[in-house]
Structures are given as structure tokens and as C-alpha cells.
Amino acid sequence: MKLYYGWVMVAAGALMGCVAAGSLFSLAVFLQPMAEATQWSRTGISGAMTIAFLAMGVAAFGWGALTDRFGPRPVMLAGGVLMGLGILLASRVTSLIEFQLIYGLIVGGAVGAVFTPTFATITGWFEKHRSLAVSLVSAGMGVAPMTVSPFASWLITHYDWRTAQLTIAILTWLVLVPTAFLVRRPPAQPD
């Protein structure tokens, strides 16, 4: 059972990483439509990504401590809920500073709740094939810009940027929240 479920964890981690990273990185697709609709500078909008990376790095420490204490499932579930909420709120802002802070802090911090527990948990599930398992999860995250960004681009061609981001928020909830329920602590290692 351990070996089998470890690969379920790899698939769940790769899927969650793909959607989380893809949703975060899809901001590049939104730059021009947001700038045209709001008259905010592209540089200002891009500043949200800088804040997101900083928030992701800082939040990872807290998410890691919470994972150690409560396990990966509640942390990744919280990350999925927060990520969708952050994108939803970002789609409704009325000023650039609101967008930068909401997208940067909430969305960026929430992505840390997916990345940190995923890698910590995956390594505990495998003694053999650990490198392969971590590589497959990383590959899931690596293909993120090739999945969510084209979908976001398609949405923008059919709807305004706010509706497109709202749709990405809903997609994030639909994928991350149920998938988080597949996440389990690794089995105890013999001493």
C-alpha cells in the first residue's frame, strides 16, 4: 500500500503544483489587458509578482512549521482555499496598491502552502525512487505556464480580465481543494 499510495501522492503533488504555479504565473497574460482597462502601469502590475515571490519564500517557513505540526493535508487545503480567495479578491480590486498587496501577499503566500508541504511530504513517502518522485512533482510544476496561461489567454479573448481571473480562482478551488484531500502524511519510518 505504501508504494502505491506514494505514487498517488506524486500525482496529487504534481497536479496541485501545476495549478498553483500556473495560476500565479498566469499574471503575465493579464498584464496588457489589465493595463489597458485600468490605466495602471505594466511595471506596477508586475510588482505584484515580485511581492508574491517574496511572500512565497517567507510564508514557506510558516507553512513548513504548520506541516510538521498538523500534517500536509490541512496546510495544502488552506493554501488552496487562500489561493482561490486571493485571485478572486484580486479580480475585484479598484487600485493598483490593492492589487499588488492582495495578489502579492495572499496568492504568493498561498502558493508556498502548496510547494513546501509537497516536497517535504513526497520525500517521506519514498526510500527508493525518491529522486524520480521529486522530479515528477517538479515536472508538474514546470509545465504550469504551458497549461494555465494558455487557458487564461483564451479566457481574456472571450471575457474581460476580471472575469478571466475570477474563472481562474474558481478553477483553482475546483482542483486544489478536492486534491488536497488525497494528501496524507508519509508512513512512519522504522528506527
pLDDT tens for 180-189 read 999 988 887 5
What's the CA dihedral at 56, 58, 60, 64 to 10 degrees? -170
pLDDT digits (tens, 9 = 90+) for 56-72: 999 999 999 999 999 99
This prediction's pTM = 0.87
Which pLDDT score is estimated for 157?
93
CA distance 118 to 43: 32
CA distance 122 to 156: 35
In this structure, is the dihedral angle defined by the CA atoms of residues 123, 125, 126 and 131, taken in order, positive or negative? negative
- pLDDT of 119 strictly over 90: no
Which pLDDT score is estimated for 144?
82
Which pLDDT score is estimated for 171?
94
Is-contact 17 175, C-beta < 8 A? no
Question: In what helix (H) or strand (E) does residue 191 lie, and over which residues does it extend?
Answer: none
Percent of the chain residues topping a pLDDT of 90? 67
- pLDDT of 152 strictly over 70: yes
- Work out the average pLDDT over 98-108: 95
Residue among 45, 161, 33 nearest 103 (CA) = 45
Count how many Cα atoms sit within 13 Å of the Cα of residue 96 in the half-sphere of its side chain.
16
